[in-house]
Structure 1
Amino acid sequence: MSKILWKSLLLSPAILGATLVVSSTAVAVEQSQQAELNQQDAAQAPVTDYVVAIADNAIEQNTTVSVQVVNPAATQPQTVAVTQVSPAPITVAQATTAPVAPAAAPEATSVESLEQLNRYSNEGTGNSNSVAQVTSVSQLSDVQPTDWAFQALQSLVERYGVIAGYPDGTYRGNRAMTRYEFAAGLNAALDRVNELIAAGTADMVRREDLATLQRLQEEFAAELATLRGRVDALEAQTAELEANQFSTTTKLVGEVVAAVTDTFGDDVDDNTVLQNRVRLDFQTSFGGSDVLHTRLSTGNAQPFSFSAFNGPVPNATFEGQQTFNVSPNFENDISLDWLAYDFPLFGQARGYLAATGGIHSDYAATANPYFEDYDGGRGALSTFAQQNPIYRIGGGAGGGLTLGFGGSGVFRPSSLTVGYLADNASDPGLSAGIGNGDYAALAQLNFNLGDRVALAATYVHGYHTTGNGIYDIGGSFAGQSAGPVVGTTQANLVDISGDGFVDGVPGLLTGPTVTNSYGVSAALRLTDRISLSGFGTYTNATLLGRGGADIWTFGGGVAFPDLGKEGNLLGIFAGVEPTLRGVEAPGVVGFTRDYGLHVEGFYRYQLTDNVSITPGVIWLSSPGQNDANSDVIIGTLRTTFNF
């Protein structure tokens, strides 16, 4: 239903009702005369087709004009006069109708859902069939001078200018249409009549034309009453919802992930598990462009232990972790895992404040489309493929500022982003708080070249106390219940085992660590169905009082959105998770520094708008950056419910 139809419904119900029904009786002539004409022209066209030569704008009330009605069963056009017509803006230009019995009076309690009304209002007006104004009948490729309605169509175009054709240059005059669609065309003509009258050209509209329109108004009375009943019922339902809604400022966005997953390999000894994670995000907006996130989370998705790996401790790697493993606990206890406020400042600038659970990707663009889902259940399976690990250095409480620039031109929209997050901001201890505990400060330049290329250059400076991981998004490694979410143990922990030993080398990498990380991320959308993305990060770790170390990570992938049907996603990603490559420290003789590959493939199948199933596989070679460990395959079947 066009905007004009809806407006007319509100301003002139009586007239719109008159324009919402048409049948063969509206333009019928004397029965005996009609029967004779039908016999003469039955072979030329269906008796239920009519073309009404009327104008494109509504006319003033009590104004007399004329309308020409072409009946395919008649050999001559018929014209009649109509008076007392009010404006009722709608739109269409051809119709196929059939005689119907008079509509029953509507029930006052008739209720139609909003979805049904929307479907009705859009009937016959899909996006693919948007119409364009026709200025000459010759523009319609499927209308020929020999057609029975050619003269009527020519009159509509050249006399009244109300015909609209489809983008492919066709008129599609043989397509059946509903009575409501015809009502739209009728009102388009009325709009044109009104325009002609306002321009002082009322002599172009004949008295006979309005006589037909008057009869059509009477025919539409029942449909108008039915439609009015539907609208009244919807208004009542809307009022009821507004009176009993949860909040005028808050909506609930939820996600439930349930996954069956297992590992396969000679050096792993894990069982098949069924795990879950639930997130309930209360999103509150006070001005429309800001949002306060209050998210509750629970789950039992504990990462695999890889307990049989060669290494100094069980869980000798954090590689292969999946997004639903990112949870504040593994006991199905409910926790407030994110409390943050995102808000506009001035111009293109935005601010971000996090009281708990903040991570850098909340406010900084990651340039990894389709794979990135903020550790949700609709993107890549693993935390590694979701985003450049540089965004996982530190987290917690703090804030960020994004200054947008390049509002027009090739760099649009681009930004400069800075932020600071502290792991233990709420702890008043001497080695905690905002500045004395673990923290990470970020600076990033993000460039978007048009709408197909994105580039991000990122720097993160971090401080990590003894026993905490580098890529831990602000978590703690105490009790193995949280901590690093990506990369090998050697690359994450200041001290792998807590006893100062790494592969038999005493005292290696003990004590606090300061890191400086430099990363780049890029994305290229080749087509609407193919997207490439990749990243790389180098981290220089300064071991306070001990020396230094180098950590590398890189990866890239290709995504095929809407593969098979809209909403589906095929993703393939490969790279090297954060891996310790070099150490400069006194007494270091050697340690394992093998590169291990991470290869991942997944296919998200969208069952409904709210439910998707994602089978996928992750392959890890040389896990724990040790060639002595056999390859590991992680198989997962993930089901995600979004609401």
Structure 2
Amino acid sequence: MSKTWWNALLVSPVLFGGTLAAGESALGSETSTITKLVQRPVAEISVAAIQDNHAKNAEDEISQLSTKPSPAASQPPSVAVTPIQNLVASETANVLEQIEQYSDEGGADSLEQVTNVSQLRDVSPGDWAFEALRNLVERYGCIAGYPDGTYRGNRALTRYEFAAGLNACLQQIERILTSSGEGFVTRQDLEALQRLVQEFQTELATLGTRVDTLEGRVAFLEDHQFSTTTKLRGEVSFSASGAFGDEKADGSGEQVEDNIVLDYRTRLFFETSFTGKDLLVTRLDALNTIPFGPGEDDNPNVTGTSMTRLAFDEGTNNSVRIGKLFYRFSVGETAESHESEEEEHGHGHGHGHGAPEGAKLSFVIDAVGGEFNENFANFNEFFSEELTGAISRFGRFNPIYYQGLEGTGASLTYNFSDALSLSVGYLAPNASDPSEKNALFDGSYAAIGQLSFDLSDRVGLGLTYVRAYYPGGQVVVSGETGSELANVPFGEDTATSADHFGVSARFRISPAFSLSGWAGLTRAHAKNDGFNDGVLVSKGDDATIFNWAVTLALPDLGSEGSLLGFIVGQPPKVTDNDIGLEDGDTSWHLEAQYRYQLTDNIALNPGVLVILNPEHNNNNDTIWVGTLRTIFEF
């Protein structure tokens, strides 16, 4: 909005006063006086018209407008015409004085200044100004912000909201005045508009000042933005961690590797949107963390059990790789979401990457690093993130979501309403490998279906089923969270399929107190004959595996964004097995952490994990894992 228009806006009462005066010429009175009054302000207000070559001069525009028939031509003016010189001098001085009061927002007494201005009352539907502006809106189509062109029913408006609407009408009528016969402004409307401008001149002027400032900030951001379509986001953490205990849980009699290690993880997210309703994410990873586990994939045997693995223990040997690549898009909106948007309120239900709030149908195509827990709701919102959630791998969510981890595939979520959704998906961890027992459909895969019930902001429930298959040499039935037997119930070389059933729930007792939990049941099936620890396995043998957990979160404790959390549960345990190998005892998973948000971008996160009876064996010593993370997000 040009400074010329805002300067003109300050003397717009002059324009309408002059226009009314010109209307008097149709009655044959005070012609010479009116001509003198009109000449000076017209030269100021008609700059835009002159620049657009729509008229030779403003005097002709006003005189042509005033000679057109008007329903009020026979009526005497209801608003007195103020002499131009006096109006300009007095109103401009008054406006500048009040603008200085409004604009001094940084001063110590700025709040007092504002509250002492008696004009800062809301404009209610019963006020004359409200009805006057409504008539202008209906007659000239000034406001198109809402679909029905109204002020959203009969609610009261703040004076700044009202001034924004009045400014829109001023601009519309200015276009009519500076055009060549494109519209017609009645004398009564000019009178009403003059009175409105005089009443709200302070808000109009302050609005102009703020718009100029905003335009400057937008221009700066446009000059310095990373991309017009892509946002860059980053995560970095440094962790000092160590495992403590006597003997490892694998029966080797070796001591737990209890040296303190310092590791890091860096992730850069490139988030691109082409339509505003889609999202393309490319994530670059550089990690050097070694799992505190039994020693697999060339990793050292630290504790002899997967129960002690941390949430952030992936590694890339310090090299940069594409850790995640997916594209999400949605179609349509739910009726409830559309209504809530119109009412300018609503809530989210944690549908992850797969279901943007309000989308009727959403799709996710995972090219690299697909995870079901990110595509669908997992109902453990305070602990599910690798960087800022639980410190343990098991404590993040029901292990059912680890099936097909870091795979390639697709997912979709259909929202019947804000309260009910259906999600289905498919992931294959080795989809890019065309060799036997790999690829998109010939190797390991997981297919998921989930019903999510978001009963309110406070209560949610999920019912989940996963069908998974693991070729020999790729068996990880429990997502490397439970006992060794729970991960390979029939041995590493026996192809295994599994039916996983899970129920998850959350209950937000209060803004400062949230409970979540899950229970998972797995039925594993041997797909070929083989051996496990010298025991014969026959095709068709079955095993039953069970796990559960309860989490407690106290968000914003100590500072906004901070979190105190506790997790208690039983990692996956083989409760029945046709080959006779079962977990005889019960392990307990105990976890506590506190993430203290130092600033918006930096947090300190100490935490401790305790595994009682590791590997579901009372003869194994308790193992402790402690960590101190420093988390940077930008």
Equivalent of residue 239 in structure 2, options 256, 259, 262: 259
Matched, 1:467 2:456: no
Q: Look up the match of 2:362.
A: 350
Match of 2:341 in 1: none
CA shift at 1:390, angstroms? 0.3
Question: Structure 1 residues 202, 18: closer, same or farther in 2, change over 3 A?
Answer: closer
Work out which of the residue numbers 7, 17, 22 in structure 2 matches 1:14: 7
CA contact (8 A) 1:316 1:488 kept: no
Distance 1:232 1:367, change over 3 A: closer
CA-CA distance at 1:264 after TM superposition = 2.4
Distance 1:624 1:246 in 2: 49
Secondary structure of the 1:639 match is strand
Match of 1:561 in 2: 555
* Cα distance in 2, alignment partners of residues 251 and 235 from structure 1: 16
Q: 1:225 and 1:270 mapped to 2: Cα distance?
A: 66
| Equivalence for 2:400 | 390
Is the aligned partner of 1:277 residue 2:252?
Answer: no
Q: Report the counterpart of residue 380 of structure 2 in structure 1.
A: 368
Code of the aligned partner of 1:265: G
1:603 equivalenced with 2:594 (yes/no)? yes
Report how far residue 537 of structure 1 moved.
0.4
Secondary structure of 2:306's partner? Answer: coil
CA deviations on 1:70-105 (whole Å, 9 max, x unpaired) are xxxxxxxxxx97359999xx9xxx97989x9xx9xx
Task: Write the mapping of 1:183-194 to structure 2, written as runs, cut at 5 A.
Answer: none
Matched, 1:486 2:481: yes
Is 1:332 paired with 2:315?
A: no
Deviations 1:514-573 (A, max 9, x none): 111100001111222221111010001112233221111100112122222221112111
Counterparts in 2 of 1:252 and 1:271: CA distance versus 1, 3 Å:
same
C-alpha distance in 1 between matches for 2:432 and 2:287? 24
* Structure 1 equivalent of residue 546 of structure 2: 552
Is the 8 Å Cα contact of residues 530 and 560 (structure 1) preserved in structure 2? yes
Cα distance in 2 for residues equivalent to 1:185 and 1:518: 53
Corresponding residue number in structure 1 for 2:572: 578
Instruction: Output the CA distance in 2 between the equivalents of 1:340 and 1:534.
Output: 28
Contact 1:413/1:448 (8 A) holds in 2: yes
Match of 1:629 among 616, 620, 625: 620
* 8 A contact 1:422–1:437 mirrored in 2: yes
1:401–1:66: structure 2 CA closer, same or farther, 3 Å change rule?
A: same
Q: Are 1:638 and 2:629 an aligned pair? A: yes
Mapping of residues 302-341 of structure 1, within 5 Å? 302-305=290-293, 316-327=304-315, 329=316, 331-341=317-327
1-structure distance, mates of 2:592, 2:220:
46
Residue of structure 2 in register with 1:458 after alignment: 464
Q: Quick check: 1:317–1:624 contact (8 Å CA) kept in 2?
A: yes
Secondary structure at 1:319's aligned position in 2? helix
Residue 301 of structure 1 and its aligned partner are, at CA, apart by: 1.0
How far apart, in 2, do the equivalents of 1:299 and 1:438 lie? 25
Residue 345 of structure 2 corresponds to which residue in structure 1? none
Deviation (angstroms), 1:159: 10
Which of the pair is proportionally richer in helix?
2
Counterpart for residue 499 of structure 2: 516
Please give the alpha-carbon distance, in whole angstroms, between the structure 1 residues aligned to 2:165 and 2:488: 76
Instruction: Report how far residue 249 of structure 1 moved.
Output: 2.0
Distance 1:605 1:15, change over 3 A: farther
Q: Give 1:247 deviation, angstroms.
A: 3.2
Helix, strand or coil: the match of 1:595? coil
Matches within 5 A, 1:399-548: 399-406=410-417, 412-471=418-477, 484-493=479-488, 510-544=493-527, 545=529, 546=537, 547-548=541-542
Give, in angstroms, the shift of residue 333 of structure 1: 1.3
For 2:394 and 2:510, locate their aligned partners in 1 and report how far apart those are by CA, in whole Å: 25
Cα shift readout 1:122-151 (whole Å, capped 9, x = no counterpart): x979xxxx9755799xxxxxxxxxxxxxxx
C-alpha separation in 2, matches of 1:83 and 1:351: 61
State the alpha-carbon separation in 1 of the partners of residues 452 and 227 from structure 2: 36
SS in 1 for 2:394: helix
CA contact (8 A) 1:462 1:515 kept: yes
CA contact (8 A) 2:444 2:470 kept: yes
Q: Structure 1 residues 131 and 523, CA, compared in 2 at 3 Å: closer, same or farther?
A: farther
Please report how far the alpha carbon of residue 467 of structure 1 lies from its aligned counterpart in structure 2 after TM superposition: 2.9
What TM-score results when the alignment is normalised by the length of structure 1? 0.62
SS, match of residue 286 in structure 1? coil
Tell me, in whole angstroms, the C-alpha distance in 2 between the residues paired with 1:454 and 1:227. Answer: 43
Q: Distance in 2 between matches of 1:346 and 1:229?
A: 37
Q: Deviations over 1:482-515 (max 9, x none)?
A: xx5422222113566x6xxxxxxxxxxx511111
Residue 394 of structure 1 aligns with an amino acid whose one-letter code is G
- RMSD of aligned residue pairs (Cα, Å): 4.8
- Cα distance in 2 for partners of 1:133, 1:229 equals 25
Higher relative contact order, chain-length normalized (CA < 8 Å, sep 6+)? 1
| Number of the residue aligned with 1:48 | none
User: Number of residue pairs matched?
Assistant: 469
Q: Would the aligned equivalents of 2:485 and 2:582 in 1 still touch at CA under 8 Å?
A: no
CA contact (8 A) 1:303 1:325 kept: yes
1:620 aligns with 2:611: yes
Tell me: CA distance 1:379–1:66, structure 2 relative to 1, closer, same or farther (3 Å): farther
CA distance in 1, matches of 2:480, 2:566: 20
- Cα 1:12–1:626, aligned 2, differ >3 Å: closer, same or farther? same
In structure 2, C-alpha distance between the alignment counterparts of 1:608 and 1:424, rounded to whole Å: 40
Distance of 1:160 and 1:299 partners within structure 2: 61
